[in-house]
Amino acid sequence: MQWVPALRRSAEEAPRRVRDKKPHASLPIGNAGVLLATMNYRHAFHAGSFADVIKHIVLVRILSYLHEKPAAFRVIDSHAGAGLYDLEGDEARRSGEWLTGIARIMQARFSEATAPLIKPYLDIVRAFNPQAELKAYPGSPLIARALLRPQDRLTACEVEPVARKRLIENLRRDTQARVVDLDGWLALPAFVPPNERRGLVLIDPPYEAKDEFERLAEGFAAAFAKWPTGIYLLWYPAKSRRVTDQLARHVAAAATSVKPPGKCLRLEFSVAPQTPDAALSSTGLLIVNPPWTLQGELKAILPELEKPLGQGGAGRFRLETPKP
């Protein structure tokens, strides 16, 4: 990893710099306009949670695949946040979600086949915690930055002023990483295709608006229409099977509408049965144009995450190709 030495230096300043992403008020509303649930989604409460672990392991596997060719790639993060979060801060202490997420994974033992696949992700987290004690957790922009080679670039979008300022500080004004004051939904069609013509678009909205699932489907479709060869990673909270199934169908339909048709992979991971009024216990990802290696890697990784991430019993996952 090209940036790990800088990550280690940055980690020394982490307690002073890590704080919060913009406040996230509620979980989304589906097409029928029925409120699914209310959930405070301030990211500092959820940094290092099981959902972050799943998302970031997949992110690292995709970027590792992009290393296999020397040609440059770009990462576009549509809703980047502050980039680094304090696990000793008030929010993280109150939620304690990292204790059943990244803390467990750092202590877990993995098979000889799976350990090398997870190691790059854990190495990045460890770079922010050089004293072997979990105190900080990097968000998607800093994880992506750690995996950029000299020829690669990151575009991170964040409109909330405090989070944007902290993201700029956390990226240390790095010349390979550009922080943009632009709404992620506007940025998606504006920044594709990138000059590099290879790369990943991460779409991880806050789910504070009633129509966020619809905006996710539409935002992806608009970007994909301009850049059908890019890799797309879409995160969503999996609280309603009807709403998430509908999202998967829309994304799969857009992906397969081009020639040659794009491929789509759906991953959902649950740490406990999901109930309407409970905290989030199921997370989902849609990966469009996944690396050909990814499905096989996830089939090796995910079963070994079920026990350490499970709450009140083993977790469970589903990995499938959604139909339009």
Residues 204, 211, 245, 277: which is the catalytic one?
A: 204
CA distance 290 to 64: 12
CA distance 208 to 243: 15
Contact at 8 Å (CB) between 313 and 281?
no
CA distance 296 to 274: 27
For 110-116, which contacts have Cβ atoms below 8 Å and span 24 or more sequence positions? 110/304, 111/300, 111/304, 113/300, 114/300, 114/301, 114/304
Task: Write out 100-128 in H/E/C secondary structure.
Answer: HCHHHHHHCCCCCCCHHHHHHHHHHHHHC
Judge whether 245 counts as a catalytic residue.
no
Cα Rg of the chain, angstroms: 18
Bond before 193 cis per omega within 30 degrees: yes
Q: What is the DSSP string of 185-249?
A: HHHHHHS-S-TTS-EEEEE-----STTHHHHHHHHHHHHHHH-TTSEEEEEEE---HHHHHHHHH
Q: Which residues pair with 179 in a beta bridge?
A: 156
Run of H or E residues at 252: helix 241-255
CA distance 51 to 55: 6
Provide the annotated active-site residues: 204
